[in-house]
């Protein structure tokens, strides 16, 4: 059975893609997207243990072994090899020919390749005596495990069932009259072009050779009118299609951005930001293919059919030679398509890594300078750039092979046909007008054939882009489950044996078996050493994540039954990594355009956050632009803007995570006094290290290593003289 290759769609997908190939060899098709969830992939990629655990979940006995090269012949294939210490590939066959061993590798970022001992030793074993190999054998109940698990509900969907394609089809349906009209105009333009060789033949044979000036004039006028008709129809069609293309661009971006905002936070935790950004480029490729390049394919196909028919009517032998050599050109180009697809995937992955490195280099320039790390980082960027250049060079070589072979066959075809036509004319078997018409048709047909070949490549690019975009659209939305729309009532937040860990077998539990209540309309402070799980707990409370085990309740309602959008509509937050957007101060506080801003609420938020004096000192006041496109704020100023944003929202629940950590003592005291009045009648959770921020809380929770060590008020916890007392004592000593 032919080994089925599976591409990785993102830079960290190689492990799940390899496992998918192993499953395919046993007749099971589970998509990479689902295997990523089964293996608990993270932004850092995937560990050997994660792949082995994933194999166990889908019905394999999985083993990770360190083997020598000779021992590879003794294991069941396919197996997964740990490649270059940062990648995974599948070894699916070993063949000995003429005393030399050939290893057949499927690299999910490149394609299927045959390599020799020297290369596998370098890439798999390296400087060690043995390399890491993952072997998989079906358990006795393999088929039952596959049948009973939900991932078997996935059936390979046809191209037309794709969400992206459905969006495109929907757009075409909504604009069908415009498309039909533009296509009719194109057909009119094409029709005028199809008549030219017939008129051309008559001008030569019946006009010039017969010396009929009147006929020549009539035919030339006809040709001029046809040219004008072609020009007008082409102009109108291009105008309509350009407008449709712009509208389609907006539609696809709107659908894609709306999909992104509906995805759970953990989707972004497990992917590089540049991977997501590059998909916007994929949208452009898809949009262009379904407008200009799709229309181009339609035109080229019609031209090929009609001009081939005219050529057949003029001379059957010439048509036969044309058809055979053109078919050979297409076969030649098609021969390289699979290799080209693998290169495109590899380029996408390298481009994503390259963009990420360049982004970090530009955004973290002060940090690089202060640590004198420029040589290391530039060297890392250039190393990746060289690798990217190598792939781009391979792509250029591949294109050169494709085009040189196709061009050779094209020129050979033209010379052969002209030679045959010359022979027919010498022997009075063909007229000069027919020869010139054939030459015109060959000129018209050489374009469509090359264009159709390019359309095949464009279609391949579009299909690759469609797969990458579809990978986003097939991720379940954060609020996919049907939750009845009802107003969220204010109750205590209750945690019952809540535990949580981030994806990846190497990640420990960040929160362990927490059970406590956050009383409504009270202030609860959470303190503890760094890494004790405070920030993760805040993310659980805002429903960025769901617990790994245990439950959160709002009164009697389980958090899992709360609509995330409705819940967050009731919440305001200042997080450690809160973001200042590119825009005015006013926009950053209200997060809406000027005409929708409530000026009274804005003024109150500015006063509570002690921003009034700062804003009054600026020439443009609250219209001053900040963020990446404007004035750079200090850490304390940024925190005050974020506090003002939370106050402006006027929520029932407030979550502050180190919200005042960058403020000076005086400003912090003033803001805390302002917030004390604002907190009345609201449920507030504050994470902080400073004593001044938490000592007036109605309840203080002390955490260490993901567990609760103490709960009480400031006075109660001081009396017990345990962990909280130690934290307070250390701060007072530091203060002294």
**Whether 128 and 252 share a structural domain:** no
Q: Are 248 and 171 in contact (CB under 8 A)?
A: yes
Q: Confirm whether 510 is domain-assigned.
A: no
Q: What is the 3-state secondary structure (H, E, C) of 160-197?
A: HHCHHHHHHHHHHHHCHHHHHHHHHHHHHHHHHHHHHH
Q: How far apart are CA 630 and CA 585, in angstroms?
A: 10
The answer for residues whose C-beta is within 8 angstroms of residue 443's C-beta and 6 or more apart is none
The answer for residues whose C-beta is within 8 angstroms of residue 731's C-beta and 6 or more apart is 689, 690, 691
Tokens 């995805």, residue located: 263
CA proximity to 55, closest of 86, 75, 28: 28
Looking at residue 311, what is its pLDDT?
86
At which of 473, 497, 531 does a domain end? 473
**Whether 117 and 188 share a structural domain:** no
Q: How far apart are CA 252 and CA 243, in angstroms?
A: 14
Q: Confirm whether 172 is domain-assigned.
A: yes
CA proximity to 450, closest of 492, 499, 403: 403
Q: Confirm whether 631 is domain-assigned.
A: yes
Q: How far apart are CA 680 and CA 687, in angstroms?
A: 18
Q: How far apart are CA 462 and CA 607, in angstroms?
A: 53
Looking at residue 315, what is its pLDDT?
86
CATH number at residue 643: 3.40.50.300
Q: Which two tokens stand for residue 695?
A: 């000592």
Q: Confirm whether 517 is domain-assigned.
A: no
Q: How many domains does the chain have?
A: 3
Q: Confirm whether 670 is domain-assigned.
A: no
**Whether 353 and 411 share a structural domain:** yes
Report the half-sphere exposure of 613 (CA within 13 A, side-chain side). Answer: 4
Looking at residue 734, what is its pLDDT?
45
**Whether 423 and 300 share a structural domain:** yes
Q: What is the pLDDT of residues 35-72, one digit of tens each?
A: 888 888 877 778 898 899 999 988 899 999 999 988 98
**Whether 123 and 179 share a structural domain:** no
User: Which residues in the chain come in under a pLDDT of 50?
Assistant: 152-161, 734-736
> Residue 65: which H helix or E strand, with range?
strand 60-67
**Whether 97 and 238 share a structural domain:** no
Count of CB atoms situated within 10 Å of the CB of 100 = 9
At which of 440, 473, 506 does a domain end? 473
Q: Strand pairing of 653-657 and 625-626?
A: unpaired
Q: Are 55 and 134 in contact (CB under 8 A)?
A: yes
Torsional sign, CA 592, 593, 594, 595:
negative
Q: Strand pairing of 557-558 and 549-554?
A: antiparallel
**Whether 85 and 171 share a structural domain:** no
The answer for residues whose C-beta is within 8 angstroms of residue 534's C-beta and 6 or more apart is 526, 527, 528, 657, 687, 703
**Whether 253 and 117 share a structural domain:** no
> Residue 398: which H helix or E strand, with range?
helix 374-426
CATH number at residue 65: 3.90.70.10
DSSP percent split of the chain into helix, strand, coil, nearest 5: 60, 15, 25
Phi, psi dihedrals of residue 655, rounded to the nearest 5° = -125, 115
Spell out the long-range contacts of 44-49 with Cβ–Cβ below 8 A and sequence spacing 24 or more.
44/12, 44/504, 45/12, 45/14, 45/15, 45/86, 46/12, 46/14, 46/15, 46/16, 46/88, 46/504, 47/504, 47/505, 47/506, 48/82, 48/132, 48/134, 49/505, 49/506
Looking at residue 512, what is its pLDDT?
92
At which of 628, 650, 672 does a domain end? 650
**Whether 178 and 286 share a structural domain:** yes
CA proximity to 108, closest of 309, 338, 345, 290: 345
CA proximity to 567, closest of 589, 543, 551, 548: 543
Q: Are 192 and 230 in contact (CB under 8 A)?
A: yes
Looking at residue 90, what is its pLDDT?
94
The secondary structure of 481-543 as a DSSP string is S-----PPPP--EEEEEEEEE-SSTTPPEEEEEEEEEE-TTSEEEEEESTTSSHHHHHHHHTT
**Whether 290 and 387 share a structural domain:** yes
Q: Which residues is 684 bridged to in the sheet?
A: 523, 654
CATH number at residue 311: 1.20.1560.10
Print the domain residue range for 586.
577-650
Indicate the SS3 state at residue 7: coil
Tokens 């604009």, residue located: 175
**Whether 177 and 137 share a structural domain:** no
**Whether 137 and 207 share a structural domain:** no
Q: Confirm whether 500 is domain-assigned.
A: no
Q: Which two tokens stand for residue 420?
A: 């045959």
Q: Which residues of 72-91 are buried (b: 16+ CB within 10 A; e: fewer)?
A: beebebbbbbbbeeebbbbb
CA proximity to 608, closest of 658, 675, 664, 663: 675
Looking at residue 639, what is its pLDDT?
92
Q: Confirm whether 486 is domain-assigned.
A: no
Q: Confirm whether 481 is domain-assigned.
A: no
534 class by beta-carbon count within 10 Å (0-12 exposed, 13-18 middle, 19+ buried): buried
CA proximity to 80, closest of 102, 62, 57: 62
Alpha helices for 570-663 (secondary structure H): 585-590, 599-608, 612-616, 635-649
Q: Are 186 and 234 in contact (CB under 8 A)?
A: yes
Q: Which two tokens stand for residue 381?
A: 């960027």
Looking at residue 645, what is its pLDDT?
94
């Amino acid at each position: 059975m032919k080994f089925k290759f599976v591409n990785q769609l993102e830079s960290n997908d190689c492990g799940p893609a390899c496992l998918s190939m192993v499953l395919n060899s046993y007749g099971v098709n589970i998509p990479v997207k689902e295997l990523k969830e089964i293996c608990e992939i993270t932004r850092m990629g995937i560990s050997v243990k994660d792949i082995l655990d994933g194999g166990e979940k889908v019905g394999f006995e999985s083993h990770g072994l360190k083997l020598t090269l000779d021992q590879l012949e003794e294991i069941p294939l396919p197996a997964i090899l740990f490649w270059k210490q940062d990648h995974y590939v599948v070894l699916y066959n070993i063949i000995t020919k003429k005393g030399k061993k050939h290893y057949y590798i499927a690299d999910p970022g490149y394609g299927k390749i045959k390599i020799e001992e020297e290369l596998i030793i370098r890439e798999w074993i390296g400087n060690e005596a043995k390399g890491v190999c993952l072997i998989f054998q079906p358990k006795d109940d393999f088929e039952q495990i596959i049948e009973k698990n939900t991932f078997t509900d996935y059936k390979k969907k046809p191209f037309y069932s794709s969400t992206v394609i459905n969006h495109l089809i929907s757009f075409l349906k909504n604009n069908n009259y415009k498309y039909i009209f533009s296509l009719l105009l194109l057909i009119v333009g094409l029709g005028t072009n199809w008549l030219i060789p017939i008129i051309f033949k008559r001008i030569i044979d019946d006009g010039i050779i017969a010396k009929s000036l009147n006929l020549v004039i009539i035919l030339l006028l006809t040709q001029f009118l046809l040219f004008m008709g072609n020009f007008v129809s082409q102009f109108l069609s291009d105008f309509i299609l350009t407008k449709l293309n712009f509208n389609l661009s907006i539609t696809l971006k709107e659908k894609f951005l709306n999909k992104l905002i509906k995805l759970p936070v953990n989707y972004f935790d497990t992917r590089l930001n540049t991977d997501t950004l590059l998909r916007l480029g994929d949208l452009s490729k898809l949009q262009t293919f379904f407008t200009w390049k799709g229309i181009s394919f339609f035109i080229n196909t019609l031209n090929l059919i009609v001009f081939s028919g005219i050529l057949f009517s003029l001379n059957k032998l010439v048509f036969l030679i044309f058809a055979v050599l053109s078919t050979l050109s297409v076969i030649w180009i098609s021969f390289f398509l699979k290799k080209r697809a693998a290169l495109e995937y590899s380029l996408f992955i390298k481009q994503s890594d390259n963009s990420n490195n360049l982004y970090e280099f530009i955004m973290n320039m002060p940090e690089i300078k202060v640590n004198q790390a420029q040589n290391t980082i530039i060297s890392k960027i250039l190393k990746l750039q060289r690798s990217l250049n190598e792939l781009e060079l391979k792509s250029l070589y591949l294109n050169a092979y494709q085009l040189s072979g196709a061009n050779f066959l094209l020129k050979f075809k033209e010379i052969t046909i002209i030679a045959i036509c010359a022979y027919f004319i010498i022997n009075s078997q063909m007229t000069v007008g027919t020869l010139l018409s054939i030459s015109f048709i060959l000129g018209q047909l050489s374009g469509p054939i090359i264009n159709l070949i390019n359309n095949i490549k464009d279609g391949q690019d579009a299909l690759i882009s469609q797969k990458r975009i579809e990978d986003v659209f097939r991720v379940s939305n954060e609020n996919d489950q049907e939750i009845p729309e009802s107003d969220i009532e204010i109750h205590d937040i209750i945690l019952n044996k809540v535990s949580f860990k981030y994806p990846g077998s190497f990640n420990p539990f960040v929160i362990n078996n927490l059970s406590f209540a956050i009383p409504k309309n009270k202030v609860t402070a959470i303190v503890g050493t760094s890494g004790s799980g405070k920030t993760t707990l805040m993310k659980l409370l805002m429903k960025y994540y769901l617990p790994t085990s245990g439950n959160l309740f709002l009164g009697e309602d389980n958090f899992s039954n709360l609509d995330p959008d409705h819940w967050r509509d009731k919440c305001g937050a200042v997080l450690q990594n809160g973001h200042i957007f590119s825009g005015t101060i006013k926009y950053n506080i209200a997060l809406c355009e000027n005409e929708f801003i409530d000026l009274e609420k804005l003024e109150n938020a500015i006063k509570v956050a002690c921003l009034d004096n700062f804003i009054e000192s600026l020439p443009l006041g609250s219209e001053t632009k900040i963020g990446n496109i404007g004035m750079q704020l200090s850490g304390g100023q940024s925190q005050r803007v974020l506090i003002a944003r939370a106050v402006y929202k006027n929520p029932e629940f407030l979550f502050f995570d180190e919200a005042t950590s960058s403020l000076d003592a005086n400003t912090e005291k003033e803001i805390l006094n302002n917030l004390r009045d604002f907190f009345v009648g609201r449920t507030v959770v504050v994470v902080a290290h400073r004593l001044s921020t938490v000592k007036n809380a109605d309840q203080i929770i002390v955490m260490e290593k993901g567990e609760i060590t103490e709960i009480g008020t400031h006075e109660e916890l001081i009396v017990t003289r345990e962990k909280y007392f130690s934290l307070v004592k250390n701060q007072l000593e530091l203060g002294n």
